[in-house]
Structure formats: structure tokens, C-alpha cells
């Protein structure tokens, strides 16, 4: 029995979405060419991924001159929100405070990062 499709993009699907966000609507061949800049990939594999992404409503397709043209259905910002929400819920019990504390304690924030976060917090509290 096949497991149900997750509403969240997989790493491979996110790779395709990034191409579509950066380049705009693209045919299969251009998506494959962009993916091949970093690793070998079969056209049939990408076509299957796009079909699954269509079922998950992550992408949409339109008739082009030489086949389908694929575009992202969700925005980059909405995908980021979904990923952060999933990360918060799964790893930090829904607490943004726990996430930020972890980043601070683990040393993942540079001085510049901390300063930018301070500025964002100041703007949001004014």
C-alpha cells in the first residue's frame, strides 16, 4: 500500500520549486537542464516528480508550444512559512523561543545575524 502524499515539498520537489521561482514558468527540458547543473537526473524521473507535485498542488501546468510549461503554484514565502511551522512543531514543540535559543546556544548565529534579528524585533515592537 502506497503511503499518502505529504503536503510539504520533499527536498527534490523543493529543488524544482526553486528553479521555477527563479526562472518562472518552464518546460520539462529546461527544468531538467537546470537540475543537471548540479547532478545527473533522468528526464523521466523529473516528469514523475512533476506529476506528483501536480497532485500535491505544488505546481500547475499549461499547454506550451512544445508540451507543457510548469509553474509554481505556491510562493516561495508560503513554502518558507510551511517549513518553519513544520520545524517548530516537530523539533521545538511549537516554540519559536526554543528555536532561537537553540540557534544562539549552538553558535549558529553570527554577530551580523544577531544584529539583524535585533533590528527586526525593534521594528516589530514599535
Same domain for 66 and 103, yes or no, is: no
Record the cell numbers describing residue 20, joined without a space.
521555477
| pLDDT single digits (tens) 27-78 | 999 999 999 999 999 999 999 999 999 999 999 999 988 899 999 999 999 9
| pLDDT single digits (tens) 92-114 | 999 999 998 898 888 888 889 98
Same domain for 1 and 61, yes or no, is: yes
Same domain for 29 and 84, yes or no, is: yes
Same domain for 64 and 6, yes or no, is: yes
Specify the pTM.
Answer: 0.79
Name the residue range of residue 29's domain.
1-91
Same domain for 80 and 100, yes or no, is: no
Q: Which of 43, 33, 35, 36 shows the shortest CA–CA distance to 18?
A: 35
Is the distance from CB of 69 to CB of 80 less than 8 angstroms? Answer: no
Same domain for 87 and 112, yes or no, is: no
Counted domains in the chain: 2
Same domain for 81 and 28, yes or no, is: yes
Same domain for 60 and 110, yes or no, is: no
Q: Which of 103, 85, 105 shows the shortest CA–CA distance to 95?
A: 85
Cβ neighbors of 7 (< 8 A, separation 6 or more) are 56
Q: 60, exposed or middle or buried, with CB in 10 Å at 0-12, 13-18, 19+?
A: middle
Same domain for 78 and 114, yes or no, is: no
Same domain for 6 and 20, yes or no, is: yes
Amino acid at each position: 500500500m502506497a503511503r499518502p502524499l505529504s503536503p510539504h515539498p520533499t527536498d527534490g520537489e523543493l529543488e524544482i520549486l526553486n528553479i521555477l521561482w527563479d526562472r518562472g514558468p518552464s518546460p520539462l527540458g529546461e527544468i531538467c537542464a537546470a537540475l543537471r547543473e548540479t547532478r545527473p537526473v533522468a528526464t523521466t524521473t523529473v516528469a514523475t516528480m512533476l506529476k506528483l507535485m501536480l497532485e500535491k498542488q505544488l505546481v500547475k501546468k499549461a499547454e506550451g508550444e512544445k508540451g507543457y510549461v510548469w509553474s509554481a503554484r505556491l510562493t516561495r514565502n508560503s513554502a518558507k512559512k510551511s517549513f518553519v511551522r513544520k520545524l517548530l512543531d516537530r523539533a521545538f514543540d511549537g516554540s519559536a523561543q526554543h528555536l532561537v535559543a537553540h540557534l544562539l546556544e549552538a553558535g549558529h548565529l553570527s554577530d551580523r545575524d544577531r544584529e539583524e534579528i535585533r533590528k527586526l524585533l525593534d521594528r516589530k515592537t514599535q
